[in-house]
Structure 1
Amino acid sequence: DLEQYKSEIAELSRTKEKLSARVEELEAQVADLREQVDAALGAEEMVEQLAEKKMGLEDQVELLKQDVQELEALQEVHEQLVESNRELEMDLREELEMAHAATREAVREREAAQETIMDRDSTIVKFRELVQKMTEQYNEMRVQLESKQGSPAPSEQEVSSETGARSSPPAELGSLVQQSRASTRSIDLQLRALDLAQARARADMLAACLPDHFMSSNGDHDAIMFILLLQRLNTKAEIILGQIREKFPAVNVWDKESIMKTHTAVQYSFRCQLEYQLQMIQVCYYHNRTCF
């Protein structure tokens, strides 16, 4: 029996050792599970915190989206204001250029007027000097006539010399007037030449700013030149019509004398034919003008 007890005790000891090892293993598992539970609880708290942070960030994102929309609306308003300011600036620049051009034109006209006034002032001064000279000559001649009242009548040579002396001042006055007119005409021609040169320079500058296809063949430049050609033809036709109507009056009475003895009928017929052709040119111009 003792041996049996010893064997049972030994077996129980082995069982106890196994169970102790199992207990230790289970305790280690329990400790691990506790750690996992603690970690899970911490993770849950972290998840809750992250969820709260996410909700806060979503609210901030919504606020930022609203701010972005407001900023985009402000940007559109800003772009519209910039565009309107650019257009206004271009309009003001054009008006300023036109004002500068008008100012330059006014200054040029003022200078031309001043030159004309100075020229006329000099002409007036010369005229006054001439009048004074003529007055002195007249006084001298009157004194001579008064002194010669008791003497015989003057000879034809003296009369012709006096007449020449009287007629020379008006001739000098006429030459002064012609010089003044020639000077004024020369100034007008110079101003017209200046206007033409400036117009050509402006056209060249504008052509330099235009794209390349503008000057290409069958392009906008040719169309503009065609329009100007039609305008020039219409103006010349109007001038010619005025001249022929003035030089070749209408024939109101058709009799044998006007037909056989004079050229009035032939001239009037030529006038009618030319008027018809010129008016056809004007009709073409006005028709194309309505198409423009």
Structure 2
Amino acid sequence: MTWKWLREELDLAQAAKRSAKLNEQLIELRDKAAASNDPKSLQDTQLITNETVDYKQMFAESKAYTKAIDVQLRQMELTQANEHVQMLSAFMPESFMSRGGDHDSILVILLISRLVFKCGIVISQTRERFSAVENVTKESIIQGMLSISTLLNAD
């Protein structure tokens, strides 16, 4: 996971540098074109503008390719994990896979870790989308309850 994050950060930093450089060149060429008003400088400005648009398209395509590669890598990891489980279960006693056996205990532990991970995602998304409540008072709770009840009764 760390390498993916580092790669994305590096790509974004390089894109920002290139974008800033192209924007500076565009501004310089526009200034020159405004000063001289000759057709050649206008063509140069148009060329730089086209390069900027091409760069944005190229950056979007590379981002899409990165996501596609990440999906393929996750698919491969999932396949290998399933194969690993199959190989390990081949060496386990039959009581391991029976109902109420150790396999069920392992599934419960995995379920709890998945729930904790998903709750973390919900918490982070909630913090991003909604502002934090500074002060919780009895009146604000009652007002919230009243607004919810009116919404439910409206249907």
Decide: shared fold, TM above 0.5. yes
Q: Find out whether 1:244 has 2:126 as its counterpart.
A: yes
Decide which structure has the larger Cα Rg and report it.
1
Aligned equivalents of 1:206 and 1:254: distance in 2?
A: 52
Aligned pairs for 1:202-241 (under 5 A) are 202-241=84-123
Counterpart of 1:214, as a letter, is F
- Counterpart secondary structure, 2:99: coil
Aligned equivalents of 2:37 and 2:98: distance in 1?
A: 88
Aligned pairs for 1:135-146 (under 5 A) are none
Alpha-carbon distance, 1:164 to partner: 4.7
Alpha-carbon distance, 1:194 to partner: 0.9
Gaps of 5+ in 1: 1-108, 110-115, 121-126, 149-153, 260-264, 271-292
Q: Find out whether 1:178 has 2:60 as its counterpart.
A: yes
Aligned equivalents of 2:125 and 2:69: distance in 1?
A: 27
TM-score (norm 2): 0.57
Aligned equivalents of 1:224 and 1:254: distance in 2?
A: 40
Aligned equivalents of 2:88 and 2:53: distance in 1?
A: 52
CA-to-aligned-CA distance 1:84-122 (integer Å, 9 cap, x gap): xxxxxxxxxxxxxxxxxxxxxxxxx9xxxxxx9xxx9xx
Counterpart of 2:106, as a letter, is I
Which residue matches 1:200? 82
Alpha-carbon distance, 1:248 to partner: 2.4
CA 1:147/1:170 → structure 2, altered by over 3 Å: closer, same or farther? Answer: closer
Counterpart of 2:128, as a letter, is E
What RMSD, in angstroms, separates the aligned Cα atoms of the two structures? Answer: 4.0
CA-to-aligned-CA distance 1:204-254 (integer Å, 9 cap, x gap): 111111111111111111111111111111111122122223322222257
Counterpart of 1:200, as a letter, is N
Aligned equivalents of 1:234 and 1:251: distance in 2?
A: 23
Aligned length: 118
Which residue matches 1:283? none
Counterpart of 1:209, as a letter, is F
CA 1:245/1:146 → structure 2, altered by over 3 Å: closer, same or farther? Answer: closer
Which residue matches 1:190? 72
Aligned pairs for 1:154-173 (under 5 A) are 164-173=46-55
Alpha-carbon distance, 1:203 to partner: 0.5
CA 1:209/1:250 → structure 2, altered by over 3 Å: closer, same or farther? Answer: same
Aligned equivalents of 1:205 and 1:147: distance in 2?
A: 74
CA 1:163/1:202 → structure 2, altered by over 3 Å: closer, same or farther? Answer: same
Alpha-carbon distance, 1:147 to partner: 9.5
Aligned equivalents of 1:173 and 1:216: distance in 2?
A: 58
Give aligned-pair identity as a percent: 34
